[in-house]
Amino acid sequence: MRINKYLAQCGIASRRDCDKFVSEGRITINGRKAELGDDVVEGDVVKFDGKAVSIKKNEYYILHKPKGYLCTVSDDQGRKTVMDILGNGVGRVYPVGRLDYESEGLLILTTDGELAQHLTHPSNEVPKTYVVKVEGRLTENDLNPIRSGIEIEGGYVTKKCRAHIIETNKDYTRVELTLREGKNREIRKMFAAIGREVTLLKRTKVGELTLRGIDRGSFRKLTPAEVEYLKSI
């Protein structure tokens, strides 16, 4: 098995990040520094920063993130993270992608670096669906710049996406939006580009996986069928 795949299955990081660790000389195989493209065979002793690592059975969770939690393992300012929701009974899993502090919704956490890479790499274009609430009334025509790709803060032009209004009145509009990319605070910036402030942002789906039956602030293990589905999209 290639060294980057082996490390990813150990839960170290994605294959790409594991390649970086190999290049930095942080990985050894049987006492010698590993090189990119090395294979690991049965009986080899692999170490990361001097500590032996081995393939473990991966863990997979789906969590309904509330607002006011960070999608990190820890925070040096003492703010709440999604790990506080999981508690001590769960192993060392990592969030897949990000939902910002003020956003809520579906979050996957796992030890499987390969799956995390698959779900977040832009080339795979894994669809993620959100419900967005903005101030004031919008029309379907107002969403056309967002659908076709719009220049946001920093000069980046977003990719085409699906968007439609699910509720509107004089005070607010709710929009369902499906993206196949995930830039930092991208949705908030997209609506800012058409002069609207996002007041609520919730991820409701990854592919066809939903939060059905999972209350805000709760989580459960993914089923084997759900894991295989996520690997396939």
Q: What is the pLDDT of residues 140-161, one digit of tens each?
A: 999 999 999 999 998 999 999 9
Between CA 5 and CA 40 the distance in angstroms is 9
For the chain, the 3-state helix, strand and coil shares in percent, each to the nearest 5, are 25, 30, 45
Q: How far apart are CA 33 and CA 31, in angstroms?
A: 7
CA distance 180 to 96: 15
> pLDDT value at position 225?
96
The answer to whether residue 49 is catalytic is: no
As beta bridge partners, residue 29 has: 32, 46
Pairing of strands 94-96, 172-179: unpaired
Per DSSP, the residues of 116-173 read HHHHH-GGG---EEEEEEEES---TGGGHHHHH--B-TTSPBPPP-EEEEEEE-SSEE
Give the pLDDT score at 43.
92
pLDDT of amino acid 60: 95
Residues of the chain with pLDDT under 70: none
Provide the pLDDT for residue 122: 86
Contact present, 64 and 219 (Cβ < 8 Å): yes
Using one digit for the tens of pLDDT, what is the confidence trace for 91-123?
Answer: 778 899 889 999 999 999 998 888 998 999 889
What tokens appear for 196 in the block? 């609207």
> Which one of 17, 38, 44, 100 is the catalytic residue?
100
| Contact criterion met (CB below 8 Å) for 146 and 190 | yes
Q: Which domains does the chain have, with CATH numbers?
A: 3-53 (3.10.290.10), 60-122+209-232 (3.30.70.580), 127-206 (3.30.70.1560)
